[in-house]
Amino acid sequence: MDLDKDAFGWRPTAGMTDKHGNLIEDRIYTSADMNRKLVLEKRDEAVAAKITEYLKPCPSLPPPPSA
């Protein structure tokens, strides 16, 4: 799954601050920075939703046998 921030990088707008009011360093953040130096909560929510969707059981398959 390619998210635009991972695929193309991300640069904050001038003077942009984080949710705590700290100034975000003005540079281009790449996929190597994601969730290490930079956390984009909306990005994480999108990834979690996609993983959850993938892990939902397929309705056409029978349930797994009981142990």
Q: Residue 56 has what pLDDT?
A: 80
Give the model confidence (pLDDT) of 6-62 as tens digits: 567 788 899 999 888 999 899 888 877 766 666 667 777 777 888 888 888 767 767
Buried b (16+ CB within 10 A) or exposed e, 12-46: beeeeeeeeeeeeeeeebeeebbeeebebeebeee
Q: pLDDT band at 67, cuts 50/70/90?
A: low
pTM of the model: 0.48
Q: Residue 33 has what pLDDT?
A: 76
